[in-house]
Structure 1
Amino acid sequence: MAIRKILTTGKHLLCSCLILIAMPIITYGKQTKPNIILINVDDLGWRDLGFMGSAYYETPNLDKLAGQGMVFYHAYAAAANCAPSRACMMSGRNTPAHGVYTVDQSERGDPKTRKIIPTPNRDFLPDSIYTLARMLQDNGYVNGTFGKWHINEDPLQHGFDLNVGGSHRGNPGSGGYFSPYKIDFIENGADGEYLTDRLTDEAIQFVKANKDNPFFLYLPFYSVHTPIMGKAELIDTFAGKPVAEGQDRADYAAMVASVDQNVGRLMAVLDALDLADNSLVIFTSDNGGIRDISYQTPLRAGKGSYYEGGIRVPLIMRWPGNIQSGSNTDFAVTNMDFFPTIKSIISAEVPADLQLDGQDLSPLFSNQSMEERALFWHFPIYLQAYNPREDGGRDPLFRTRPGSVVRKGKWKLHHYFEDGDYELYDLEEDPGEKNNLVRSQVEIRNQMIELLEAWRLEVNAPVPDQANPLYDRAFEMNLINQQLNEL
């Protein structure tokens, strides 16, 4: 496959072939159920890791973790920015089910450049939603979260027993990666203490305190979200390093390195406490990286865009004895799959009316085939550009405009609501989404349109169509032309 050929150019990559060996029947260790450890890095790009092909960032601990578990090369966030992705992951439901589409308001960008009135956004996950944490709590788990929450005021209201540092806040604030901190539910450490280190310290204490009980450890680092602030000694190690295309910021590399070091610390504690074999570790990112900071070549665009660079994310799952070490897969997955997968492996008792939009991935652990399914994204709002020179979006004013996306197999279809336009890409041959095949692959286009429309009808997805009275086409075109002339 073209994508795999590109991936295998990285010197730290795992074997490029699909290595899935038949697994034994799943059994647990001395506890009746495995511990669940979910590490969710903020804005970490798909290729910002050594095992994913980066020649600039250094991630030896994560490369080791990848070699001990399964790497998912076609893993996706359920949304292209922070809050909706986290809402989808914790609820197991796609955006139309909970209405969290973005951070803050849906009317982003200059009102004169928006042709339609977007769907209103819900800021927080509704209290009525049965979360992954609630399911684990109801099934005997002790739950702790350490870091960015972002989908209501307090994660204790959604099934956690302990919260350090999590609230509605989406980033640590100006200068906030060093104590004294500016986030909620955390006591300041010594002056200059680094937030990523502190959150891991707290997580390690939680593991030690609950080593004899099944626990759910959610570790959503604020890193590597802006402001870009690395530790000085790590910045120095990258300052003179040869750069790769679009990956050249020593301060960002230092943040990635801190995440890597702290994951290594946590994994060492699991080993020391003899917990590794009875712990499912999931490592991922909440959305694509910011392209103005780090390119995800060959993928197009970045955070906030529904091109691949905005939604494709790194994903490792490790569970010794149940997931073959050194394995990998091209099966397309989403962070909404975590909920049903965990539900399956712990044989959870859940409410009879529970609905989940993801799929149990545990058959992949034992080399069973899974039927190809469609993945859907729905974003009926606007998200303005970060940097038109770097974003790689459809136009220079927005990272994305209101629309929906479907991927099935190698095909991916974008539908934009303002003008009814479609874009169709063959991801196998064109992972960078440069060659729109909407006119040459008419049969595939029509099949994908039918698939997308049926899904939107099934989930009652809102499709905004009311004209915006403030829209000014002449103003918009003048602004676009100005931006294009500067590019």
Structure 2
Amino acid sequence: MHRWFRKSISVLALISLLFSCLEKRSPNIVLINVDDLGWKDLGFMGSAYYETPNLDALAGQGMVFYHAYAAAANCAPSRACMMSGRNTPSHGVYTVDNSERGHPKTRQLIPTPNRHFLPDSIYTLAMMLRDHGYVNGTFGKWHINEDPLQAGFHVNVGGSHRGNPGSGGYVSPYKIDFIENGPEGEYLTDRLTDEAIRFVKANKESPFFLYLPFYSVHTPIMGKQELIAAFADKPGTNGQDRADYAAMVASVDQNVGRLLAVLDELKLADNTLVIFTSDNGGIRDISYQSPLRAGKGSYYEGGIRVPLVIRWPGKVQAGSKTDVPVTNMDIYPTLKNIIGAKIPDHRQLEGRDLAPLFRNQPLEERALFWHFPIYLQAYNPREDGGKDPLFRTRPGSVIRKGKWKLHHYFEQNDYELYDLEKDPGETTNLAESQPAIRDRMIQLLDDWREQVNAPVPDQANPRYDKEFETNLIKSKLDED
């Protein structure tokens, strides 16, 4: 009897230990990063045209961040910032390809050279998770080196230096790297989700990091025909009216729904932290983000503000919302602290841990910074709403703190100050009427640039031609 009792205690202790281990197991992480999805391109963000029932349900199960930002206004630098936890001056990825964009006679300054890939010295988010027991898989657009397996992932499907799927590339046979062709006509968003689901099923017994950076909704705009037909007769509103783009958004929504259903089926949802966001603002020529100004490539709100939802059952209150300004650089330190990770140099991280918001605790107000010492030409001068008809943005820096946002453009050393609380469309420049606030923001921006050694171009471009620039602007505005 005594021996049986001791054996029973041992079994109970073992069971208790097993349950303790299960409770302490690090959460699975699913990070969904849609390409060029605008801040208002979702039902839960206020769109009356796009239909996103699965993402609307996800938003109701987690926390919605209404003032979430990408750390850069276009693809490669935003992804470099998110994966490194560092701002653009720390890694030198400012844009896609070269920094001398637009006509050379319209650029007053010699821009800062651009680094195409994230430096090998960077200890990435994926490396941190790999070194703390995670199995990492990425399925889709990578864009910050040749192969994500070099940056901490164990599995890669479809990710390389490529920034878009190529002409006609949303259907098989594909034009991207590291993927086998499926049946002719297979849709890329469906295929990437199939691969992601296979990864989840294969790794359900251990903590996994699933990075799902869809190529959608980047150009070329190619929706599935049956979904395009579903939107063909639906009336649009306020610059949101393209059935082919709505079809791409709907495909993303359907596939996110498929993935979440698998997490439920495998009983993984309760221990899985899901993050849904976009890498930058949407292209305004395709979809307006009103009341926000401009779109992808611009450092006005429409170019950098993005949707963000975080769901973590039992840890993040369902249906919660916040207006606290956050950035995609916050994802790395948040996950680091959640799993109790150690990294070689914690000072590399320029974001902050968002977990206190999950517990309804306040975060100390901070400034957010953007630095873009290069040029990015216009898409459509009549539609972009950017810096001017020739450029979505010109070399400059931006700071937001509280409700105030300051732009500093280097060519003329000019400033724009906006009250985002009253003027989210950045229509009224208060730089002259609010000099005290302007000067305080300028000092914060100057101090930050000095702290991070941000390059500020000051060499005049000998090819610049003022008359040529003036005439080109006029001709662009006169075009039908």
Of all paired residues, the percent bearing the same amino acid is 80
| Aligned partner (choices 329, 353, 362) of residue 360 of structure 1 | 353
Aligned equivalents of 2:225 and 2:129: distance in 1?
Answer: 39
SS at match of 1:216: strand
Structure ID, larger Rg: 2
After superposition, the C-alpha distances for 1:115-168 in whole angstroms (9 at most, x for unaligned) are: 000000000000100000000000000000000000000000000000000000
Structure 2 match to 1:21: none
Aligned equivalents of 2:421 and 2:477: distance in 1?
Answer: 30
Shift in Å at residue 28 of structure 1? 9.2
Structure 1 residues 147-166: aligned runs within 5 Å? 147-166=140-159
Shift in Å at residue 292 of structure 1? 0.3
Aligned equivalents of 2:346 and 2:384: distance in 1?
Answer: 42
Structure 1 match to 2:188: 195
Structure 1 match to 2:314: 321
Shift in Å at residue 386 of structure 1? 0.3
Shift in Å at residue 355 of structure 1? 1.4
Is the aligned partner of 1:244 residue 2:251?
no
Structure 1 match to 2:37: 44
Contact 1:406/1:452 (<8 A) preserved: yes
Shift in Å at residue 425 of structure 1? 0.2
| Aligned partner (choices 290, 302, 311) of residue 304 of structure 2 | 311
Aligned equivalents of 1:31 and 1:444: distance in 2?
Answer: 47
Quickly say closer, same or farther: Cα 1:250–1:133, change in 2 above 3 A: same
Contact 1:29/1:278 (<8 A) preserved: no
Q: Report the structure, 1 or 2, having the larger helix content.
A: 2
Aligned equivalents of 1:399 and 1:120: distance in 2?
Answer: 18
Aligned equivalents of 1:352 and 1:223: distance in 2?
Answer: 34
Aligned equivalents of 2:348 and 2:224: distance in 1?
Answer: 43
Aligned equivalents of 2:395 and 2:342: distance in 1?
Answer: 38
Give the TM-score normalised by the residue count of structure 1.
0.94
Contact 1:31/1:214 (<8 A) preserved: no
Quickly say closer, same or farther: Cα 1:352–1:484, change in 2 above 3 A: closer
Aligned equivalents of 1:470 and 1:31: distance in 2?
Answer: 62
Aligned equivalents of 2:235 and 2:455: distance in 1?
Answer: 48
Is the aligned partner of 1:214 residue 2:226?
no
What one-letter code is carried by the residue in structure 1 that aligns with 2:222? M
Contact 1:29/1:277 (<8 A) preserved: no
Shift in Å at residue 354 of structure 1? 4.7
After superposition, the C-alpha distances for 1:26-61 in whole angstroms (9 at most, x for unaligned) are: x99556100010000000000000000000000000
| Aligned partner (choices 180, 184, 190) of residue 177 of structure 2 | 184
Shift in Å at residue 482 of structure 1? 1.9
Aligned equivalents of 2:297 and 2:22: distance in 1?
Answer: 41
Contact 1:31/1:213 (<8 A) preserved: no
Shift in Å at residue 486 of structure 1? 3.7
Structure 1 residues 283-298: aligned runs within 5 Å? 283-298=276-291
What one-letter code is carried by the residue in structure 2 that aligns with 1:464? P
| Aligned partner (choices 395, 405, 410) of residue 402 of structure 1 | 395
Gaps of 5+ in 1: 1-26
Is the aligned partner of 1:106 residue 2:64?
no
- What RMSD over aligned residues (CA atoms) do the two structures have, in Å? 1.0
Structure 2 match to 1:32: 25
Structure 1 match to 2:197: 204
Structure 1 residues 10-21: aligned runs within 5 Å? none
Shift in Å at residue 412 of structure 1? 0.1
Structure 1 match to 2:4: none
Aligned equivalents of 1:424 and 1:377: distance in 2?
Answer: 15
SS at match of 1:256: helix
Is the aligned partner of 1:267 residue 2:260?
yes
Quickly say closer, same or farther: Cα 1:437–1:62, change in 2 above 3 A: same
Structure 2 match to 1:378: 371
SS at match of 2:190: helix
SS at match of 2:162: coil
What one-letter code is carried by the residue in structure 1 that aligns with 2:373? P
Shift in Å at residue 349 of structure 1? 2.0
Shift in Å at residue 481 of structure 1? 1.8
Structure 2 match to 1:255: 248
SS at match of 2:369: strand
Structure 2 match to 1:58: 51
Structure 2 match to 1:146: 139
Is the aligned partner of 1:442 residue 2:435?
yes
Quickly say closer, same or farther: Cα 1:333–1:29, change in 2 above 3 A: farther
Shift in Å at residue 173 of structure 1? 0.3
Aligned equivalents of 1:340 and 1:360: distance in 2?
Answer: 5
Structure 1 match to 2:293: 300
Aligned equivalents of 2:387 and 2:73: distance in 1?
Answer: 15
Aligned equivalents of 1:371 and 1:28: distance in 2?
Answer: 34
Quickly say closer, same or farther: Cα 1:476–1:352, change in 2 above 3 A: closer
Shift in Å at residue 350 of structure 1? 1.5
Aligned equivalents of 1:464 and 1:352: distance in 2?
Answer: 29
Gaps of 5+ in 2: 1-19
Quickly say closer, same or farther: Cα 1:159–1:354, change in 2 above 3 A: farther
Quickly say closer, same or farther: Cα 1:443–1:141, change in 2 above 3 A: same
Give the TM-score normalised by the residue count of structure 2.
0.95
Structure 2 match to 1:225: 218
What one-letter code is carried by the residue in structure 2 that aligns with 1:359? R
Shift in Å at residue 235 of structure 1? 0.3
Shift in Å at residue 62 of structure 1? 0.1
After superposition, the C-alpha distances for 1:60-103 in whole angstroms (9 at most, x for unaligned) are: 00000000000000000000000000000000000000000000
Contact 1:100/1:121 (<8 A) preserved: yes
Structure 1 match to 2:6: none
| Aligned partner (choices 268, 271, 290) of residue 278 of structure 1 | 271
| Aligned partner (choices 57, 81, 90) of residue 74 of structure 2 | 81
Contact 1:59/1:260 (<8 A) preserved: yes
SS at match of 1:271: helix
Structure 2 match to 1:3: none
SS at match of 1:386: coil
Structure 1 residues 329-348: aligned runs within 5 Å? 329-348=322-341
Structure 2 match to 1:456: 449
After superposition, the C-alpha distances for 1:334-382 in whole angstroms (9 at most, x for unaligned) are: 0000000000100012114551000000000001111110000000000
Structure 1 match to 2:12: none
Number of residue pairs matched by the alignment:
461
SS at match of 1:251: helix
Shift in Å at residue 484 of structure 1? 2.8
Structure 1 match to 2:406: 413
Structure 1 match to 2:11: none
